[in-house]
Amino acid sequence: MITAAASGIGNAIAGCCLEEGSRVHICDIDGEALEGAIKDKQGLSGTRCDVGNATDVARLFEDVEVSLGGLDLLVNNAGIGGGHSPIEEIDVDEWRRTMDVNLNGMFYCIQKATPYMKAQKSGTIINISTVSVRTGMTNRLPYITSKQGVMGLTHNVARELGPWNIRCNAILPGLIDNTRGRAILARKAEADGRTLEETEEEYLRYISMRCWIKPKEVGDLVVFLSSEKAKHISGQFIAVDGHMEWEA
């Protein structure tokens, strides 16, 4: 089961899992995009869900039970940007909403997935964080704080569920080459009064491999981490970023 998988990284992860022969259930808050994703990929089922709402997540897992009959892999991908404000101007409601989606939503899903995985004494949980937890970003305190919380969540879940042969890891994507990633760069270029090319050059200057990351690269890592080849990898924070050293 993959959250926020109607588009972007989540959709790429779903595609990679389907290619491996898995049955996949996804959720997304965008009902129209969800319907399109299900039509586009054979073998995909889905539920409209706001993961920041515990009642929605409970209903999601009722659908997962019907669609899959169990659960081997949970990918917590859902996340929002959390706004762009200096600390003193952060809207409290926006702060709460960012925590609800980016951190609480992962907890709600893990809590519901755990009984399935404990019963079968196996399972994989993968939380999507961001490499920005290592670099930090100005005017993005809600987002960075929520994603740092994901790191603590991952570490402790790995420890607590390890005795049941349940593994939990976090993936830290870098500069993602998709519509959202390109839009983020375009907004920054506009805000700074610079060309898109200048802004891109500045970003890539602080990535050792000078690269964008394709969404499928994250999907490929999910497939590996959920496979028998990674059966003893747990509690790890793994970046797919070309080694991002710093970001503006």
As a whole-number percent, the residues of the chain with pLDDT over 90 amount to 97
Token pair in block for residue 26: 């996804």
Q: 10 with 2: CB under 8 angstroms? A: yes
**Residues of the chain by 3-state class (helix, strand, coil), percent to 5:** 55, 15, 30
pLDDT tens column, 223-244:
999 999 999 999 999 999 999 9
pLDDT tens column, 49-72:
999 999 999 999 999 999 999 999
Residue 24, SS3?
Answer: strand
> What number is the average pLDDT over the span 5-28?
98
> What number is the average pLDDT over the span 96-123?
98
Token pair in block for residue 180: 């959202």
pLDDT tens column, 208-227:
999 999 999 999 999 999 99
Q: Which of 108, 116, 143, 203 is catalytic?
A: 143
Distance between CA atoms of residues 210 and 245, nearest Å: 11
Could you give all domains of the chain from N- to C-terminal order, each with its CATH number? 8-176+212-240 (3.40.50.720)
- Confidence bin at 248 (pLDDT 50/70/90): confident
- Single-letter amino acid code for the residue at 153: L
pLDDT of residue 219: 98
Query: Sign of dihedral through CA atoms 215, 150, 228, 232?
Result: positive
Distance between CA atoms of residues 13 and 10, nearest Å: 5
Q: 152 with 103: CB under 8 angstroms? A: no
> What number is the average pLDDT over the span 29-46?
97
Question: Among 14-23, 111-120, 148-157, 182-191, which stretch is predicted with the lowest mean pLDDT?
Answer: 182-191
Tell whether the model's pLDDT for residue 109 goes beyond 80. yes
> Has 203 been annotated as catalytic?
no
Spatial CB neighbours of 230, under 8 Å, sequence gap ≥ 6: 167, 224
pLDDT tens column, 127-137:
999 999 999 99
